[in-house]
Amino acid sequence: MKKFILFLIMATLVATQAFALNVFTCEPEWKSLTEEISKDKADVYSATNATQDVHYIQAKPSLIAKIRKADMVVCSGADLEIGWLPLILRKAGSAKVQEGGANLIYAAQYVQTIEKPTRIDRADGDVHPNGNPHLHLNPYNVLKVGKVIADKLSEIDSENGAFYQKNFADFSAKMNSQIKTWEQKALALKGANVITNHKNMSYLFDWLKIKTIGTLEPKPGIPATSKHLSELKDITEQKRIAFIAYAPFESSKPAEWLSKESGIKAIVLPYTIGGNKETNNLFDLYQNSIDLMLNTTDK
Amino acid sequence: MQKQNLAVMTAILALTCANSAKADDRELLKRIEQLETRINELENNQIQTPIPTAQTTPINSMSAFNPYISVVLNGAYNYYSNKNKEISGFQIGEERESPDKGFSLGESEINIGANVDDKFLANLTAAVVSEDGDDKIELEEAFIQTIGLPYGITATAGRLKPVFGYLNEKHAHTDEFADRPLPYRVFLNNSYRDDGVQASIVLPTDFYAEIGGGFYKGGYFPASSEGSGDGAANAYIKFGGDITDNQAWLAGFSYLYAKSNKGRKSDDIVFKGKDNLYGLSLKYTYAPTGNSKETELALQGEYLFRDEKGKYNVENAGFEQYNNKSSGWYLQGTYKFMTNWKVGYRYAQMRPDDVPNTFKDTPLDSQGHNPEIHSVMAEWNNSEFSRIRLQYNYDKSNKKDDNQIVLEYTMSFGAHGAHSF
């Protein structure tokens, strides 16, 4: 019996060591980024997928169970997950990860957020006082967050610290060289006017110097209305618009309507990992987004 | 003489300076070019140092520690075809009293909370209620809670809503219907709240498993009436998880023990004794497109069973023994078919016990009638902060049918509310 118990203890020790770390991420982009750095040394989980609007997630039981076991949490922050992350953190009652704790990384704290509202009033829709939280669509931001993740992983699991730092250095080098190629390629898009459903593509457009002329939502978080859409139609008649873009989890109806009325192409950009078949990692995300946008400008 | 010397000196100095500048011209240009390329390089790979977001530093930080505050306002227009609000076969608490016909203000709720320090958080929920023309403040919750104890343990102390079934701990404004289902109105006076301590542990399992329980003063329905207190306790276990990415479930089994030696009073009925209440709850959600913001089907059902031992006194006729076993259940389905629109249906039923001869023809005598209510509702949410709901109840709580219509608004402002499951 004693031998059996000893065996059980050994077995659990071995089992728990197979994955040294449990990382909980709020979005697929942070899961992908963490995996680029941790490789097989961590079990990385994403609370959401590309078909979901991350802002409206419920504090599901599965999320409480997952965050309870996490050694580290990576989320976008800037109030993107405010409806559910504080609640699951509170319900899970974990000693390792808590609001304000060292092992909770909010990406928005390490980059310069854009579109910070000057007026905080819900009459303007579901505004984010700390700026636009959809910051992963600018690869420079991803590199900054990647460095923070690499440092945190090295701190928690110092034994593999050099491994994480090397993986990040490799990722960073590859990303930097890709960025140059993408920026060259996307020169054709520079200065183009576009319409999006929600301001969740702003960082991509900001990076590539594309101008957002309007959104299909009259105000953040308020679905498109026919009155607002007809106003947008008037704008399309006055200005040259390159394309209308929306995310995989958003309704296609308003974009399709405006596209039909104005003759401007509507495209679904992947938005995050898994947003379409071609987008399996962060490199695919930028590559595919730029390809899709360029396709609309080829005549 | 001195002046002349100075002038010469200055001239020489200026000349040498100019000369050396000429000689260094190329060197300088080279250096500027080098610096320019270095700046460009830095601009292109600005990854070295993370920039924390700019923070404003007020001179006096007293207000920076303000807690978060959220307010929920609720108002309704009610119509009933029948005035009788009895539920056949049961003594019921004050909360079951439906608002008067016509316009009425529901609970206006104020919620204030904050982290006290790194080990505790505090939360206060007060509801302003209008009853018989008087505005009263009810302290719904006032508790402190631990943060980050080891092993996933959380302890709560103060005025709280103990976990029982699915609905008891929930605030009414998050409900899918304008009123609580029959079993909650009968057995828990809508929602049982009390002063005490509750502890829970979330197990480190792949699926969600939580075990908890607590002890309370026992000063509220279904324990003794306001204030006195003979003791109450609860225990529960909850499981949950995902079936696929777009299907989630939560199941629970709960127990509540409530003692009322000093008497549980309401209108003309007093009860002295013990309640053993058991609850079984199940919730399931399915988002057909994977995005629950757009479409979602939610099913929810609960079964409550009460084993009661004690004496009833109806209309001052004297205390008589009445040990009884009764039950109630409800099943509801809601469907969000568009981002802003939701419809739902709920059926609720009670199973009262047969009364001994001493209670014949009193309100405790159901006369073989099982109270039941059919409810349908439709709601429109302009944003996640505002809701307008229309609900129709075909109410057979007692032998006389009642057609009820409720049109209500619920608006929340202040701190962003939580999307609880």
**What is the C-alpha radius of gyration for chain B, rounded to an integer number of angstroms?**
33
Which domain does A287 fall in, by range? Answer: 182-297
Specify the pLDDT at position B256.
98
Contact A57, A84 (CB under 8 A): yes
Mean pLDDT of chain A: 91
CA–CA separation, B381 and B388 (whole Å): 7
What backbone torsions phi and psi does residue A32 show, to the nearest 5 degrees? -60, -45
What backbone torsions phi and psi does residue B379 show, to the nearest 5 degrees? -135, 155
Distance from CA of B339 to the nearest CA of A (A): 8
Q: Is A95 near chain B, with CB under 8 Å?
A: yes
CA–CA separation, B62 and B76 (whole Å): 39
Could you tell me the CATH number of the domain that includes residue B268?
Answer: 2.40.160.10
Q: Is B288 near chain A, with CB under 8 Å?
A: no
User: Quick check: is B187 in a domain?
Assistant: yes
Specify the pLDDT at position B143.
97
Residue B27's identity, in one-letter code, is E
**Whether residues A36 and A175 fall in one domain:** yes
DSSP states of B76-139 as a string?
Answer: EEEEES------TT----GGG-PPPSEEEE--EEEEEEEE-SSSEEEEEEEEEEEETTEEEEEE
**What is the C-alpha radius of gyration for chain A, rounded to an integer number of angstroms?**
21
Q: Is B155 buried (19+), middle (13-18) or exposed (0-12) by CB count in 10 A? A: middle
Among A94, A184, A207, the strongest candidate for a mutation testing the B interface, having the largest count of B CBs within 10 A, is A94
Element housing B309 (H / E): strand B296-314
User: Quick check: is B398 in a domain?
Assistant: yes
Specify the pLDDT at position B37.
66
Length of chain A counted residue by residue:
299
Q: Is the pLDDT of residue A28 over 60?
A: yes
For helices A282-297 and A161-185, angle between their N-to-C axes, nearest 10 degrees: 10
With a pLDDT cut of 70, the percent of chain A lying above it is 93
In B256-267, which positions are buried (b, 16+ CB within 10 angstroms) versus exposed (e)?
A: bbbbbbbbbbbe
Which domain does B138 fall in, by range? Answer: 67-414
Closest of A166, A251, A89 to residue B295, by C-alpha:
A251
Distance from CA of A69 to the nearest CA of B (A): 6
Specify the pLDDT at position B47.
45
**Whether residues A175 and A226 fall in one domain:** no
* Residue B124 neighbours by CB under 8 Å, 6+ apart: B111, B112, B113, B139, B141, B142
**Whether residues A210 and A70 fall in one domain:** no
CA–CA separation, B80 and B102 (whole Å): 9
User: Quick check: is B36 in a domain?
Assistant: no
Secondary structure E strands in A66-183:
72-75, 104-106
**Whether residues A25 and A169 fall in one domain:** yes
User: Quick check: is B43 in a domain?
Assistant: no
**Whether residues A176 and A194 fall in one domain:** no
List B residues 129-158 in contact with A (Cβ-Cβ < 8 A).
145-154
**Whether residues A127 and A255 fall in one domain:** no
The CA distances from residue A130 to A81, A136, A201, in Å, are 13, 15, 17
Of B203, B240, B340, the CB nearest to A62: B240
**Whether residues A134 and A188 fall in one domain:** no
Specify the pLDDT at position B301.
98
User: Quick check: is B197 in a domain?
Assistant: yes
Number of domains in chain A: 2
Specify the pLDDT at position B226.
63
Mean pLDDT by 10 residues, chain B (421 residues): 50 48 64 70 51 49 79 93 86 74 87 92 92 84 94 96 97 94 95 96 94 95 79 97 94 96 88 96 93 93 98 93 97 94 97 94 93 97 93 94 95 89 90
DSSP states of B357-395 as a string?
Answer: GGGTTSTT--TT---EEEEEEEEEEEETTEEEEEEEEEE
Taking an 8 Å cut-off on Cβ atoms, the answer to whether B202 and A172 are in contact is: no
Of A180, A196, A230, which closes a domain?
A: A180
Of A180, A212, A247, which closes a domain?
A: A180
Preceding amide of B363 cis, omega within 30:
no
Could you tell me the CATH number of the domain that includes residue A15?
Answer: 3.40.50.1980
Specify the pLDDT at position B133.
75
Element housing A279 (H / E): none
Contacts of A180 in chain B (CB under 8 A): 44
For helices A28-38 and A282-297, angle between their N-to-C axes, nearest 10 degrees: 130
Number of domains in chain B: 1
User: Quick check: is B202 in a domain?
Assistant: yes
User: Quick check: is B9 in a domain?
Assistant: no
ipTM of this complex prediction, to 2 decimal places: 0.85
